Structure 1
Amino acid sequence: MSEVRAVFAPKGALSKSLPGFQPRPAQQAMAAAIAALEKPGAQLVVEAETGTGKTFAYLAPALLKGGKVILSTGTRNLQEQLFHRDLPRLREALAPRSVAALLKGRSNYLCIQRLEQNIRHPVDADELVLDQLQTVRDWANRSKSGDLSELTSLPEDAPVLPRVTSTIDNCLGRDCPHYEDCYLVKARKEALEADIVVVNHHLFCADLVLKDTGFGELIPAADLIVFDEAHQLPDIASQYFSDTVSTRQIVEWCRDVQLLYKTVVRDARSLSQIAEQLERGARDLRLCFPIDPERGNWRDALNKDDLSQSSTRLGELLSRARAICKQLLGRDKDLDNCYERLELIHKRWELLHNTAVTGYSYWYESTPRHVSMHRTPLSVAEPFGKQLAEQDARWVFTSATLTVNGSFDYFCERLGVSNKNTMILDSPFDFQKQAMLCLPRYLPEPHERSMPQALADIVRQIVAHNSGGTFVLFTSHRMLQLVAALVQDTLSRPVLIQGQTSKRELLNQFVEAGNGVLLGTSSFWEGVDVRGDALRCVMIDKLPFSSPDEPLLQARVEDAKLRGLDPFATIQIPQAVITMKQGAGRLVRDVTDRGVLIICDNRLVTRQYGATFLASLPAMKRTRSLQQALDFLHQAPPPESGDVSELGAAEEHPAQPVTSK
């Protein structure tokens, strides 16, 4: 432990090797607490507010302690930032001989087998897909890693990508003729041999649950596992403990079968016919839902006659396809794999229709082309907690937002994590001097028709007093669009609206403008880092309670009632507090930042639960006077002094705006 503290000392290893590094007590305390985790299975939960430098705080003991370390981040963007920027700096200073590896999910790597199949027989490929296939082929001849993030000439949602990547369902594993050259196999081999492996929560949970070939060998071998942005983990884990069937899965299965019919089982006309019928059945099911994407209760949806009939029909087609495919077993390895995929889809389909089983939320989500059905456990505390207990690793969970009113109970109970070993590390920022929280008087209630106009008026007043940039964060797309329509043609500065272009491009435009107004919803509440005058005001339209129509929330509320608990106090308030803390955290990102947080919801002062929200926010100056907040905003920012080097905060200082996925 003393060795770790010495690293962060004024004349320690980091100060000597990293120009501009400034030691921080909170950073030292967190690093020492991680170093003190000696017992296998030990757990530490740390809330480290913005500016404490938590990345270096967990990297230093990980590098000094030795052994196998897994670092899991909330998103792929943060994963790459950690691997390419923060980790190399510390590794060079503390453990230059240690080996690090970046491991992504299989959908990020080119599948040579599927690329060749689709080039030879591009089933149902239009001109766009054919052009993209050629682009992928040209790039594949040059790539050494097979990491599709290198292929910047294709959009993230390019239709060719599912055709040239594998899933756990369609991967042939060791039976693949390209197994020795497989990019995914090579990446996993590097990860197995590395001292430090950087993954993301989605990959960790997927492989933890599915025991996917290869990566599962890493977890038992790990001595230390760190989850950064751990507040995202409960919801991500829920996805991977769910049973899901999507029409996309079924359509892709049908296309793969049609490819096999044209190449290796040309006499199996019945297989091609059932694939055609099954694909049509999947598309018919999607047509039973509204055109606009939505989420809803699957139990309730099954009570509708048209959907019930389409669902029953699709189940019958799945059974027939399974029987036909079974008769062809042994003729081809790819076909055998297709049968196994169909078996799994069929089994999950039956589970999704046995809605009398309790303890699960049955829900659906539609996109413009597909619909997915889910059976999600109401709590992952038992299965995830079991995984924690079965591994000998030491576990660290950290984020800037884990507590509700100073308590870790909500986070720990959701994951089955022990809350005996916890830390709260306050931010080094002087919020009393740097920021002001305004709860404007005389606002309509959030549901009233006059609210959009009231919000638009506040936005105009902010712009009149703010020489820098403004974030306007909404809890719904509907309110965003209503306010956008009222302000976008009335402001004399750039107005950027979510959906106009990609999130990354919007942020780049916002930073370049320096005085822009960005209107966004949930994806802009976290994982966004804009410093200085480019962001001097964050406005939030209302408290971020989840929609009461959200099916998973409905199921959890009902379960809480059955257990004699108050669902509003135990589920809805804690969830909203965590989200609010994330949104508020966009404002002050540096010791030189200065700005105003405006929350336009009277319930913060008129409802008893408002005190819980206020107690969880940073200790800013507070006012009910909008004019006083505008005056604070209008004042010139203080001269830059006491600058905190990017090497002191590490993860808080990206070279450019960092976004979540």
Structure 2
Amino acid sequence: MIEFDDTQPDSVAALLGADGPFARELPNFAPRAAQQAMAAAVAEAIAGRETLIAEAGTGTGKTYAYLVPALLSGERVIVSTGTKALQDQLYFRDLPKVRSVLDARVKTALLKGRANYLCLYRLDQTVREGASFDKAQAAQLATIRAWSARTRRGDRMELAEVPEESRLWPRVTSTPENCLGVECPFYDDCHVVKARREAQEAQLVVVNHHLLFADLALKQEGFGEILPGASAFILDEAHQVPELAGQFFSQSVSARQLAELAQDALRECSGVTGAIGLLLEPVEALQDALKRLRLAMDPLPSRGAFGALEAVDTVREGLHEVGELLATLADLLASQAERSRGLANAHERAALLAERLERIVERGSERDVRWYELFPRGFALYATPLDLAAPLRAMRERSGAAWVFTSATLSVAGRFEHFARQLGLDEPQALLLESPFDYARQALCYLPEGLPDPAARDYTERVLDAVLPVLQASNGRAFLLFTSHRALRRAAELLRARVPWPLFVQGTAPRHQLLEEFRHSGHGVLLGAASFWEGVDVAGDALSVVVIDKLPFAAPDDPVLVARLEALEQQGINPFMGWQVPAAAIALKQGAGRLIRSVTDRGVLVLCDPRLTGKNYGKLFLASLPAMPRTRALADVQAFFGNALPRAAIDPLSPIACDGGEG
């Protein structure tokens, strides 16, 4: 293993320098000053148990910048990613390279939430019920059975043949509620248990944010003995943390949880004399009540404050009925709990869900925002803390560990106040590292003139009128990112008759498939919303234009956001400038970050929202983006794709003059 002085962060940085082992041993490795600075800062944070916020622009190489000090620290480190895809990339691609170069004899482990692992007990139960499946599901079940005999990890990501969205996966994976634990007949071969044991013995464990917060906030996943022992937590894609933390500090009950409880209760009656006769009627009554309640919710918006539910008589009565039936089922399961471990588990789940439902429906707290969400066949009820800073601060203090938060998008106009306030970070160390990409030469920002207010009825049509000449200049090769699915659908409808290039529209195929087909098309135009704004990496000529239709302000109907904005106002903070603008600026940076993904990429960022130049706050958005030339002239875009020097490149850092205006 490489020797270095862990008291000198500069020695860690030197490993990534021009004379270091990475430059010697890895083909195409380019030493970067920003990467070295981040590695030194992470080493210092781990050694001093400090909190560090590190924004590392695209191309910095932040993965190596935190893996090198983590592996050499001699401490137990948890690395957490925002997505399972990045988690796999980190563990199977990046980590082996870094370990090899450093000759680091450090035990590592990959750990995911239990829903990612095949449950042998539930697979066995599902196989016994196989006759009830249609032809496609039966084929998928056969595929899963064959895979179960050869897999070592039991990680469902290994099995691409069964789609991630297949309704069979919930039947053959476990949840914290339905896991039988040590009393499971398959316990000795359990993939979750094996993964947990490996993680217990590892010095560096790669997890994802969902698992991390489920464990630290709620101890839901049963990994409590693994994560708290860490000396450092490194959270990549940390811009996702505030929203995810809100989910995991919330209390929630969903129709799906209640329906699965009902199904599992009946399933566990198998082989227990008389149990089915006792439980069938109350289970069916609960299932019917859930359907009636969901039907009564139909006229309501897809999400809203809990008061909207209470204002509808049939919904309020339906909630009361579901609560009563759930309590009855819990009592009946209690009478059968001693007859099998499965029924005891069903009783524990029913009691927990009944208590949680009562807490949300009957006991509103001033510290919580109560709200609901509707799905095509179900609903969910939530109580979310108004202030996340306090529980997050308490969680970090309990850990006594170093906390490193890193992403390409954490600052707003070079400042971290918004992110730090959300997470309750008091006086953290902060590091802002610019991307090594030459945006002044590689990119151009085009702000079309003459577009109407984004609220105009024909706004999407006018955006496309402005964008079509850009697509003609680039010969397709574009992402069109929308802030709403309605605008996306309208744009797709209009473009089909107006462009010669292949269109790839979110919702018509799985995301990974759309991206693969887009890459191979050469001149495609991809239309996306929400999930396509981040985590999408298309380097090279296939992507040369990114269009953003509007500033990505959060939906004004979000009941949690509305309550938080009201609370900020009561504290004397302007909620628009203190919360909504910073949050939207970070989201805009994510979308814009899709454009330049390598040192050879070239492209045009088209920002259509006229508020960028017509409102004072537009300057804050523009100041948050990488420094690139900006223009309002279509001729500059055409010249850019003609490889001529755009006029706007004369002064790449010069902002366009903005007219005054508030709000």
Whether these two folds match at TM > 0.5 is yes
Report Cα offsets for 1:192-213 as digits up to 9, x if no partner: 1112111110011111122246
- Check the 8 A contact 2:215/2:222 in 1, yes or no: no
Counterpart for residue 331 of structure 1: 339
CA distance in 2, matches of 1:122, 1:282: 26
CA distance in 2, matches of 1:12, 1:69: 24
Match of 1:246 among 234, 241, 254: 254
CA distance in 1, matches of 2:135, 2:46: 59
Alpha-carbon spacing, 1:313–1:326, altered in 2? closer, same or farther (3 Å) = same
After TM superposition, the structure 1 = structure 2 runs for residues 491-506 of structure 1, keeping only pairs within 5 Å, are 491-506=499-514
User: Does residue 118 in structure 1 map to residue 126 in structure 2?
Assistant: yes
Shift of 1:578: 0.5
CA distance in 1, matches of 2:241, 2:221: 22
Report Cα offsets for 1:399-443 as digits up to 9, x if no partner: 000011211111111112234310000111121111111211111
Structure 1 residue runs of 5 or longer lacking an equivalent are: 639-661
Paired letter, 1:342: A
Alpha-carbon spacing, 1:483–1:273, altered in 2? closer, same or farther (3 Å) = same
- Check the 8 A contact 1:293/1:368 in 2, yes or no: no
Report Cα offsets for 1:347-371 as digits up to 9, x if no partner: 1101211364212222222222221
- Check the 8 A contact 1:45/1:419 in 2, yes or no: no
Paired letter, 2:241: L
User: Does residue 277 in structure 1 map to residue 285 in structure 2?
Assistant: yes
Counterpart for residue 94 of structure 2: 86
CA distance in 2, matches of 1:144, 1:590: 36
User: Does residue 59 in structure 1 map to residue 67 in structure 2?
Assistant: yes
Match of 1:602 among 610, 613, 620: 610
Alpha-carbon spacing, 1:388–1:267, altered in 2? closer, same or farther (3 Å) = closer
- Check the 8 A contact 2:56/2:433 in 1, yes or no: yes
CA distance in 2, matches of 1:636, 1:261: 75
The secondary structure found in structure 1 opposite 2:55 is: strand
Counterpart for residue 615 of structure 1: 623
Counterpart for residue 423 of structure 1: 431
- Check the 8 A contact 1:40/1:392 in 2, yes or no: no
How many residues in Structure 1 have an aligned counterpart in Structure 2?
A: 638
User: Does residue 211 in structure 1 map to residue 219 in structure 2?
Assistant: yes
TM-score, normalised on structure 2? 0.93
Counterpart for residue 643 of structure 1: none
Greater shift in the superposed pair: 289-298 or 51-60: 289-298
Match of 1:256 among 261, 264, 286: 264
Counterpart for residue 660 of structure 2: none
CA distance in 2, matches of 1:403, 1:54: 16
CA distance in 1, matches of 2:639, 2:46: 52
CA distance in 1, matches of 2:145, 2:243: 37
Report Cα offsets for 1:442-487 as digits up to 9, x if no partner: 1111111221221221232122111351111100011111111111
Counterpart for residue 109 of structure 1: 117
- Check the 8 A contact 1:101/1:197 in 2, yes or no: yes
**Which runs of structure 1 show a deviation greater than 6 angstroms over 4 or more consecutive aligned residues?**
none
- Check the 8 A contact 2:327/2:350 in 1, yes or no: no
CA distance in 1, matches of 2:252, 2:458: 41
After TM superposition, the structure 1 = structure 2 runs for residues 11-26 of structure 1, keeping only pairs within 5 Å, are 11-26=19-34
The secondary structure found in structure 2 opposite 1:308 is: helix
Q: Which has the higher contact order (CA 8 A, sep 6+)?
A: 1
Report Cα offsets for 1:266-320 as digits up to 9, x if no partner: 3452212111111111222222233999222222122112211211111111111
The secondary structure found in structure 2 opposite 1:93 is: helix
User: Does residue 364 in structure 1 map to residue 381 in structure 2?
Assistant: no
User: Does residue 165 in structure 1 map to residue 173 in structure 2?
Assistant: yes
CA distance in 2, matches of 1:343, 1:553: 31
Counterpart for residue 569 of structure 2: 561
Paired letter, 1:204: L
- Check the 8 A contact 1:220/1:392 in 2, yes or no: no
Greater shift in the superposed pair: 229-238 or 627-636: 627-636
Alpha-carbon spacing, 1:459–1:606, altered in 2? closer, same or farther (3 Å) = closer
User: Does residue 151 in structure 1 map to residue 159 in structure 2?
Assistant: yes
Paired letter, 1:480: L
User: Does residue 399 in structure 1 map to residue 387 in structure 2?
Assistant: no
Structure 2 residue runs of 5 or longer lacking an equivalent are: 1-8, 647-663
Match of 1:320 among 328, 350, 375: 328
- Check the 8 A contact 2:49/2:231 in 1, yes or no: no
Report Cα offsets for 1:326-360 as digits up to 9, x if no partner: 22231211111111101111111012113642122
CA distance in 1, matches of 2:436, 2:49: 31
Alpha-carbon spacing, 1:466–1:584, altered in 2? closer, same or farther (3 Å) = same
Report Cα offsets for 1:223-278 as digits up to 9, x if no partner: 22110000001111111111110111111111111112233243452212111111
Identity %: 45
Match of 2:530 among 519, 522, 530: 522
After TM superposition, the structure 1 = structure 2 runs for residues 363-382 of structure 1, keeping only pairs within 5 Å, are 363-382=371-390
CA distance in 2, matches of 1:216, 1:64: 25
CA distance in 2, matches of 1:258, 1:122: 16
CA distance in 2, matches of 1:37, 1:564: 34
Counterpart for residue 482 of structure 1: 490
The secondary structure found in structure 2 opposite 1:177 is: coil
Paired letter, 1:350: E
- Check the 8 A contact 2:49/2:400 in 1, yes or no: yes
After TM superposition, the structure 1 = structure 2 runs for residues 389-468 of structure 1, keeping only pairs within 5 Å, are 389-467=397-475
Alpha-carbon spacing, 1:2–1:407, altered in 2? closer, same or farther (3 Å) = closer
CA distance in 1, matches of 2:286, 2:566: 36
